[in-house]
Chain A
Amino acid sequence: MILSVLSSPALVSGLMVARAKNPVHSVLFSILVFRDTSGLLLLLGLDFFAMIFPVVHIGAIAVSFLFVVMMFHIQIAEIHEEVLRYLPVSGIIGLIFWWEMFFILDNETIPLLPTQINTTSLIYTVYAGKVQSWTNLETLGNLLYTYYSVWFLLPSLILLVAMIGAIVLTMHRTTKVKRQDVFRRNAIDFRRTIMRRTTDPITR
Chain B
Amino acid sequence: MNATCSCDQCSGKATLWMKGDEIVRVTARKDQWGEVEEFICDTCPYSTWAERKVAAVMQDRIGPNRAGPFALLQPLADGGKFFFKEDFTPANAERFLFVLGPALVMFISLITGAVIPWGKSLNIGGTSFDLQVANIDVGVLYIIGMASIGVYGIMIGGWASNNKYSLIGAIRASSQMISYELAMGLALLSIIMMTGSLDLKVISETQATGKLWGLFAIDGMNWNIFYQPIAFLVFIVAALAETNRHPFDLPECESELVTGYSTEYSSMKLGLYMFGEYVNMFISNAFMVVLFFGGYNYPGIEWVTQHWGENTAGILSIVAFLTKTIIGILIFMWIRWTLPRFRYDQLMHLGWKTLIPMALVNLLVTGAVILAFGS
Contact = CB atoms under 8 A, between A and B. Distances in A.
Interface residues of A, number: 24
Contacts of B345: 182
Contact of B155 (A51, A53, A66, A182): A66
B360 interface: no
B143 to A, nearest CB: 9
Interface in A157-188: 182
A28 B156 CA distance: 9
B145 A59 contact: yes
A54 interface: yes
Interface string A52-83: 11110011100100110011000000000000
Given A59-B181, A63-B155, A70-B171, A54 B148 contact: yes
A136 interface: yes
Contacts of A60: 148, 178
Contacts, number: 72
Contacts of A58: 145, 148-149, 152
B285 interface: no
A126 B278 CA distance: 44
A67 B156 contact: no
Contacts of A191: 21
Nearest to B158: A70
B258 interface: no
Which of A53, A55, A67, A182 is most buried by chain B, counting CB atoms within 10 A of its CB?
A55
A63 B178 contact: yes
A59 B141 contact: no
Contacts of A52: 141, 145
Contacts of A53: 145
> Range of interface residues on chain B?
20 to 34
A182 B343 CA distance: 11
A10 interface: no
A54 B97 CA distance: 20
Contacts of A67: 171, 174-175
B356 interface: no
A17 interface: no
Interface in A110-133: none
Nearest to A60: B178
A71 B171 contact: yes
Given A58-B149, A182-B345, A70 B178 contact: no
Interface in A22-40: 24, 28, 31
Contact of B145 (A24, A28, A51, A63): A51
A28 B174 CA distance: 15
Nearest to B346: A182
Contact of A70 (B146, B167, B198): B167
B136 interface: yes
21 contacts: A24-B159, A48-B141, A51-B138, A51-B142, A52-B141, A54-B146, A58-B152, A59-B145, A59-B149, A59-B178, A63-B151, A63-B174, A66-B174, A70-B155, A70-B170, A71-B167, A135-B138, A135-B198, A182-B345, A190-B20, A190-B21
Interface of A: 24, 28, 31, 47-48, 51-55, 58-60, 63, 66-67, 70-71, 135-137, 182, 190-191
Interface of B: 18, 20-21, 97, 136-138, 141-142, 144-149, 151-152, 155-156, 159, 167, 170-171, 174-175, 178, 181, 185, 197-198, 343, 345
Nearest 9 Cβ contacts at the A-B interface: A59-B148, A54-B145, A51-B141, A55-B145, A51-B138, A135-B137, A55-B148, A70-B159, A51-B145
